[in-house]
Structure 1
C-alpha cells in the first residue's frame, strides 16, 4: 500500500494533497471526499497542488472559537493527565495549548523524533546493502550485516540464487558493525515473545518476526543467526555461526528499500525494531556507540543541532518502548510543523498513518469527521496514549497537533484523542 502527502509553504499559499492507493481514500484540499468502503485504486497523478488557503487572504483568522472547543475537550476525564498543542501551519500561530512544555511519557510518538533525525542524517534515498563475501576457509561465506532489519524471504531467495553452485558448507554472519548491547535495559524480555521487540541486530528477517512479515508476531531470540541459517538452508550448508573474514570478495548482495519506504513501514505498524535499527544505522555511520541509550542521546543531539528546543526532554530509546522516555508536546509539534514547511522532513508526513484508512489508525475514527483527513503517529503503553500529526480543516487551514494522555485507560483515551483531532478537522 502506497500513500503520499505534500504539505508545503509556497508564495504564501499552503498546499496539501493526500492519496491512498488501495485503501479507498482520496483526500485533497479542493474538496474530494472520503470513499471508504468499498476499496478502490487511485493512481497518483502528476505533481498536483491545490491551494488550501485563499491566496488573497492576508489576515490570520480568529481561532478563539476553536480554542474554546479544544479547551472543553481537554477537560475530558478519559484523558487523565493531559498535555497538548495545536498550530496553524500557514501562519505558524499556536491556536491552542495546554501545558505544551511539560514532558510526559510519549510511547511510540517518540518515533517522530527518530524519523526526523534519520532524515537529517541519512537522506530520503538512503539504502542498506548487505554483502555476502568469501570466508577465510574454503567452503565458507560470511554475511556482512550492515543494518538491514527488514530482510525479506524473497531477498533471501535472491541470495541463494546468487550463491548457487559455489559448494558452500558453512555460513557465518558478521554483526560487528553494531558492537554494543542489542537489547536495552529498560525493555521487558517478555515483549520478545509478545511481538513488540527483540535484540536489535544488524541483519534480521522482517524485524525478527516468526511466521510472517508484519504485525505483532512473536520475535526470534537469535535474529542475526536466523539470517545465516536461512541462507545456509538455501545453499545446502550444514554449519552456521558468527564470525568475520579478511576477504573482501563479494559473492552476492541485496539492497534494502529507501529510507522513505522504510519510514512508511515503520510508522504504519509502529515497528519498534525498525526505529531502533534506524538509530543504530546512523550511529554506526558516525562511529558512535550503538546501544539504545547512546543512540537516543545522539538523536537529541542531532535535533538540537537543527534548532529544536529540547527543554525537559529525555529519552533512553528511539522506539518509545521504554517507560523512562519524557517528551514535550511542544517538541513533537515543532518537528511536525518543520516537516510541513521544509522539504527535508517532508517524508515524515508522508509516512504517517491515515485515520480510518491505514496502519495503526485503520480501525479508528469510525463515524468521526477526521476520518480520511487526519494523518498521525499513535503511541500506546500502559496508561499512556498519544496522537501527533497533521489535519486539513474544512476551511482549508492545515493544523499540526500533538496530544498526549498519561495515567489513563487506553481505549477511552484513544477515543477522546480522535475526537480532539476531529475538532481541528471541523474548523
Structure 2
C-alpha cells in the first residue's frame, strides 16, 4: 500500500471524527432545547459585491501583499534576508529578494532531505535490525541497519528472542565515512543536538531521556550492544562483523519511513535526518556516508526537475556551517507539494510544525495572526534563522515561502520572520 493511500485514509478518519463530534453536540443540543420557543431567524439581505482592487483576482491582491512584504523585509532585525513567496494557485512569485543567492540554511536543509526521501523511497519502508549467531559459540552479533530510533521495548523483544549469550558484538558496516560531519561542532554531542553517526542507537543516542535536546552518547552503537548484553547475561561487548550467512536469531523493525520523516521534520531531529540521508544513498547505490547521502539527495531532486544550482551540502540535517541553499529551492519544493502535481511530496506539508501548536513552532506565534495557519520548517544556528513552509491567507489562498536570514540575532530575526508569515495570513 502506498503511503498516499494511507495518508489520505488517516486524513479522512480525522475529518470523520471531527464531523462526528459536531454531530454529537447537535444531538445533545436538540435534546436539551427541543421545547424552547423562539422567533424566526433574523434575515439579512445579500450585500452588494465588495469592490475588488485593480489587478486583484477573486479578491486576492498580490500586488498589495508584495508591497507590504517588501516593507517588512527591510527590518534590520533580519540582517541579510533572501527569500521567495509564491501563490500556489496561480504559480505567481508574489515577492522575492535574491532568491537564487544561497545562504546558510540551518535546519531548513531537512526540507531537501524529506523531499528526496519521499521521491526516492517507499513511504512504508521499514529498517530491520537483526541479531545473528556469531562465529564463536555463545556469541551473537547485532547487524545494524541504520535504525537510530530503537527503543528499550525493542531491545527487550530482541533479548527474549535470543535467550542467553556470553558475548554481544555489533556490526556497523552498513554505514561508512566519518561519524562527525564537516562543519559540525563536537560540543553539540553533549549539547544534545547530534550524536556520532553510527547505524544503531537507542532513542537517537539520548542519555537518560527518549526525546528532546538532552546530552547524547559518544558511543551509540556500543550502547545498543550493551543494552542487549545486560538482558541476555553477556559479560563481553564489542564491535565485530556478522558472519556471512549466519543464522538469524532475532529481528526488530523500525517505524515506516513516512512516520520517521514526520518525526524528523516536526522536532528538527538532526540524527534522524542524517540516518534518512544514508537510507537514500544506499537505495541509489552510493557510499552510505555523509558525502554519499548529500550526493544522492541532490541527484534525486535534480531528476525530479528541481534546480539545485548554488546548493552546497555537507550534511542532510543542516547542522553544518558549510551548507548553502538558495531560498528559491526551498520555496519550489513546498510550492510543488501544494499543487496537484506534487502528490508524492504532499506528506511533507503535513509533517511541517504548526505555528503555536506543534514541534519547533509550539511556543511561537502565541499572539500572532499566523497561529494555527502557518506550517513551516524552522532553522537556527548562530547568526542564522530560517523559516520555510506554507500559509493559508485570510482570503483562502495558500502561499508557499522560503526565508533565510543570515548575520542576524536569533530571537529578533525569529520574531521578524513570524511577523512576515503572519502578514501573508492577513492578506
Equivalent residues in 2 for 1:300-319, closer than 5 Å: 300-319=298-317
- 1:328 and 2:326 correspond: yes
Q: Is the 8 A contact 2:106 2:381 kept in 1?
A: yes
Query: Which residue number corresponds to residue 31 of structure 1?
Result: none
- Three-state SS of the structure 2 residue aligned to 1:142 is strand
Query: Which residue number corresponds to residue 101 of structure 1?
Result: 100
Q: Is the 8 A contact 1:135 1:247 kept in 2?
A: no
Aligned equivalents of 1:73, 1:105: Cα separation in 2: 21
1:18 and 1:68, CA in 2 relative to 1: closer, same or farther beyond 3 A? Answer: farther
- Three-state SS of the structure 2 residue aligned to 1:116 is helix
Query: Which residue number corresponds to residue 253 of structure 1?
Result: 251
TM-superposed deviation, 1:155: 1.1
CA displacement, residues 235-259 of structure 1 (integer Å, 9 cap, x when unaligned): 1111111112224321111110111
Q: Is the 8 A contact 2:182 2:320 kept in 1?
A: no
Query: Which residue number corresponds to residue 220 of structure 1?
Result: 217
Aligned equivalents of 2:404, 2:176: Cα separation in 1: 35
Aligned equivalents of 2:198, 2:286: Cα separation in 1: 16
Query: Which residue number corresponds to residue 378 of structure 1?
Result: 378
Aligned equivalents of 1:151, 1:145: Cα separation in 2: 11
Structure 1 unaligned segments of length 5 or more: list them.
9-15, 21-25, 27-56
Aligned equivalents of 2:392, 2:7: Cα separation in 1: 10
Query: Which residue number corresponds to residue 347 of structure 1?
Result: 347
TM-superposed deviation, 1:156: 1.1
TM-superposed deviation, 1:415: 0.3
Equivalent residues in 2 for 1:4-403, closer than 5 Å: 61-164=60-163, 167-244=164-241, 245-341=243-339, 342-403=342-403
TM-superposed deviation, 1:305: 1.1
Aligned equivalents of 2:397, 2:67: Cα separation in 1: 17
Q: Is the 8 A contact 2:111 2:377 kept in 1?
A: yes
Q: Is the 8 A contact 1:228 1:240 kept in 2?
A: yes
**TM-score normalised to the size of structure 2?**
0.85
Query: Which residue number corresponds to residue 37 of structure 2?
Result: none
Aligned equivalents of 1:234, 1:59: Cα separation in 2: 65
Aligned equivalents of 1:257, 1:299: Cα separation in 2: 21
Aligned equivalents of 2:331, 2:193: Cα separation in 1: 26
Aligned equivalents of 2:320, 2:363: Cα separation in 1: 25
Query: Which residue number corresponds to residue 35 of structure 1?
Result: none
Q: Is the 8 A contact 1:124 1:347 kept in 2?
A: no
Q: Is the 8 A contact 1:133 1:247 kept in 2?
A: no
CA displacement, residues 72-113 of structure 1 (integer Å, 9 cap, x when unaligned): 110011100001111111111111111111110000000000
TM-superposed deviation, 1:206: 1.1
- Three-state SS of the structure 1 residue aligned to 2:345 is helix
Greater helix fraction, Structure 1 or Structure 2 = 2
Aligned equivalents of 2:291, 2:13: Cα separation in 1: 36
TM-superposed deviation, 1:355: 0.4
**TM-score normalised to the size of structure 1?**
0.85
- 1:406 and 2:406 correspond: yes
TM-superposed deviation, 1:18: 12
Q: Is the 8 A contact 1:268 1:358 kept in 2?
A: yes
TM-superposed deviation, 1:60: 8.8
TM-superposed deviation, 1:61: 3.9
Q: Is the 8 A contact 2:294 2:313 kept in 1?
A: yes
CA displacement, residues 343-372 of structure 1 (integer Å, 9 cap, x when unaligned): 111111111110000110000001001101
Aligned equivalents of 2:168, 2:237: Cα separation in 1: 5
Q: Is the 8 A contact 1:369 1:422 kept in 2?
A: yes
1:356 and 1:238, CA in 2 relative to 1: closer, same or farther beyond 3 A? Answer: same
Aligned equivalents of 1:200, 1:124: Cα separation in 2: 23
Aligned equivalents of 1:169, 1:94: Cα separation in 2: 64
TM-superposed deviation, 1:283: 1.4
Query: Which residue number corresponds to residue 26 of structure 2?
Result: none
TM-superposed deviation, 1:339: 1.4
1:349 and 1:321, CA in 2 relative to 1: closer, same or farther beyond 3 A? Answer: same
